[in-house]
Amino acid sequence: MVRRAVRGEDGLTGAEMLPFAVLVFVGGTLVFAQAWAALDAKIAAVAGAQEAARTFVEHRGPRSADAANAAVDAGVQAMSGYRLRGEGSVQPVGAARLRRCERVTFEAVREVPRLALLRGGWSPVVVRARSSELVDPFRHSLDGKAPCVG
């Protein structure tokens, strides 16, 4: 009886794993890119909300509507400085009143497109940030007493 040499299958495992490894690498890169875009949007939203709240409480005029408009403009401008794709907006949460010791809160919202390579009908990721500040109780341009100071 003559034995015939059987060819080994040692080299096939590496060749079969190569497409899978490329797929995992590309998928991981896309997930990392999406997470990085969401982080950038969150940083921009935090900056927009903080700038809006700060602008509102430091507004020189006595009118709440003027202070709110200036705050929204400043917040949107702060977010646009990051030059990110997607939509962004800044709005007051609740009634924004320019009174001594009044707490005002602004919310910034940014939309981040999902996975830039897949232009499907996927909804964007929405990132939100809030910031609040107190109106200075000793501010000279406002009428009335400060309820938070004894």
| Structure-token pair, residue 73 | 């403009």
pLDDT digit string (tens) for 81-113? Answer: 888 877 889 999 988 888 888 899 999 999 888
Q: Which two tokens stand for residue 68?
A: 């709110």
Query: If you average pLDDT over residues 53-74, what whole number do you get?
Result: 92
Q: Which helix (H) or strand (E) holds 16?
A: helix 12-57
Helix, strand or coil for residue 65? helix
pLDDT tens profile 105-121: 999 999 888 775 555 66
Confidence (pTM) = 0.78
